[in-house]
């Protein structure tokens, strides 16, 4: 019984820890944080919190997620972009042709990490938005929905 508790504890702990590959990615991703730093005002790129969300929606399994991130970093294009709004706002990201191994580590880290909500980024977004009243009730907003209202809702939920 004691053993079982111990094993359960170890498993629970392990599932929170990053894999070795992702640990390496955590260091390598510094190359990306010059722009993807969620604390920057004005911001230069979408924070990884949102990038991870968006990519997991398209690429739920880890391997295809990593492939998509690597593929993007090597050669970003308008057509490939999943996040159309940031492309409009910041312009297209420059290519980051790092070695494949490093990009795979960065991809693994992006997949595994639990990022903090980008509260500074959201607050700036809301400050800079037109100031119009958010519409809708927070349901069914996503593509084509009211972006400001969605950010406001998330900000209220996670940053207050």
Nearest approach, Cβ of 139 to ligand HEC (angstroms)?
Answer: 25
Q: Between 46 and 118, name the residue whose CB sits nearer to ligand HEC.
A: 46
Q: Between 31 and 117, name the residue whose CB sits nearer to ligand HEC.
A: 31
Q: Which residue has the tokens 């391997």?
A: 63
Q: Cα 3 to chain center, whole Å?
A: 38
Nearest approach, Cβ of 104 to ligand HEC (angstroms)?
Answer: 11
Nearest approach, Cβ of 145 to ligand HEC (angstroms)?
Answer: 18
Chain residues that interact with ligand HEC, rule: CB under 6 A: 31-32, 34-36, 44-46, 51, 69, 72-73, 76, 81-83, 86-87, 90, 92-94, 96, 98, 106
Q: What is the rounded distance in angstroms from the CA atom of residue 12 to the CA atom of residue 32?
A: 30
Q: Between 19 and 37, name the residue whose CB sits nearer to ligand HEC.
A: 37
Nearest approach, Cβ of 114 to ligand HEC (angstroms)?
Answer: 17
| Three-point CA angle 46, 49, 52, nearest 5° | 95
The half-sphere exposure of 63 on its side-chain side, counting CA atoms within 13 A, is 0
Per-position b or e across 88-98, b if 16+ CB within 10 A of its CB: eeeeebeebeb
Q: Between 35 and 153, name the residue whose CB sits nearer to ligand HEC.
A: 35
Q: What is the rounded distance in angstroms from the CA atom of residue 148 to the CA atom of residue 68?
A: 27
Nearest approach, Cβ of 7 to ligand HEC (angstroms)?
Answer: 36
Among the listed residues 31, 7, 10, 14, the one whose alpha carbon sits nearest the alpha carbon of residue 98: 31
């Amino acid at each position: 019984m004691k053993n079982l508790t111990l094993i359960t504890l170890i498993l629970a702990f392990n599932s929170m820890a990053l894999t070795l590959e992702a640990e390496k990615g955590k260091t390598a991703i510094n190359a990306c944080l010059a722009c993807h730093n969620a604390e920057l005002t004005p911001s230069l790129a979408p924070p990884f919190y949102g990038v991870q969300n968006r990519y997991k929606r398209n690429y739920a399994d880890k391997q295809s997620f990593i492939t998509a991130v690597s593929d993007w970093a090597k050669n970003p294009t308008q057509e490939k972009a999943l996040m159309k709004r940031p492309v409009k706002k910041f312009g297209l990201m420059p290519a980051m042709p790092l070695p494949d191994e490093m990009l795979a580590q960065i991809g693994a880290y992006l997949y595994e990490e639990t990022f903090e909500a980008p509260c500074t980024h959201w607050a700036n977004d809301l400050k800079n938005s037109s100031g119009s009243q958010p519409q809708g009730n927070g349901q069914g907003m996503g593509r084509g929905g009211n972006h400001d209202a969605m950010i406001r809702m998330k900000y209220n939920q996670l940053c207050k």
